[in-house]
Each structure stands twice: as C-alpha cells, then as structure tokens.
Amino acid sequence: MVSDYPTGVIPSEDVDLAHLCDDPLLVALPRGHRLAGEPAVDLAELAGESWIEAGGRGDATVLAAAAARAGFVPRTDITVPGWTAKQGFVAAGLGVTLVPALAAPAMRPDLVLRPLRDEMVRRRVFAARPAAGGDLAAAARLIEILRAAARRARAPGEGAGQGAGSPTSGFE
C-alpha cells in the first residue's frame, strides 16, 4: 500500500494504483490539553502550540501545508526518530502532532485524538500493483478485501476501533 502522504504519489507507467480510501488526519493531544474535550479542533486553534514530528517521515511537509491553509507557521520544537517516540512526547505534554485516522487503534491510551474541522487535512491510500500484471482475479479480490478493511477500520464501533486511543474512544 502507498499513500499520497505527504507530497503526492509520483505517477508511473509501471504501477497501477487502486484507491482504497481517504484517511483524515487527526490531532493527538495530551489528556490535559485545553482542547481535549472538544468534539473537533480548528487547526488555527493550535497555532501557538509546540509540534512533535517524526524525522524523515514527511511530517513537516504535511503539517506545513495544513498550517499554511490555517494561517500560521507551525513551531516544531521536537523531532524524534520514530512513531512511538512521537506519541510519548505528546503524552508527556510536550506538544501535539498529526496522526492518520487509520493509525488511531495503535495509539497510546493516554492520548486524546480529535478530528480536524479542515477536511482537506487527509491522505489518500492506494494499493499498488505492477502494471504488467494484467487483471489477475486474485489481485482484484485482494483490493476488494483491502477496501472493505479500510471501511471497517473507519466505521465507529466496528472492528479494531474499540480500544483506548481508537477513533471511537478517542473522539469522546
């Protein structure tokens, strides 16, 4: 699978892309954050916050583009080497970060996830297969299964979304 996060999918004649879903980005907040109780957050409300980014993952590009639309330049005080560290710094109250909604079930239970009111802050997720592969029935079936799994993952109250930090518990 590939996504257009952070800067778009580079077209290639050698690869066929099948769109699986659009995945909105959420904001991860520490439990005691002033916006943790809000049903949704305007990104502009986070203009003065310290942002936590994962180095080498394109976080800065996504955040910069979203923040520019919201009218501010984000202040990144901490860049960490990986996803787990990023969550830990947010949980410790040292900043906030953006998280793909499909990753919500894997988030720490001591974080609060909130949707952003700007629906443009999202990524598109694709299945990639070799263009020369033809129309294999197995590949087509796999894409159907992946699309169904993406729908289940995004549906409140279904599938893996029951644990702490999930879309259902995180959008309290």
Please provide the DSSP assignment of 142-161 as one string.
HHHHHHHHHHHHHSTTSTTT
pTM: 0.77
How far, in Å, CA of 149 to CA of 20, rounded? 9
User: Is 110's pLDDT higher than 80?
Assistant: yes
pLDDT in tens, 23-73: 999 999 999 999 999 999 999 999 999 999 877 655 667 888 889 989 999
68: nearest Cα among 45, 40, 42, 44 = 44
Single-letter residue type at 2:
V
* CATH number of the domain located at residue range(s) 2-170 in this protein: 3.40.190.290
90-107 tens-digit pLDDT: 999 999 999 989 889 899
Per cent of the chain over pLDDT 70 is 81
Is residue 171 pLDDT above 50, yes or no? Answer: no
In the prediction, which pLDDT does 137 show? 87
Residue with tokens 């942002």: 51
**Mean of per-residue pLDDT scores for the chain:** 82
What is the per-residue pLDDT for 112? 97
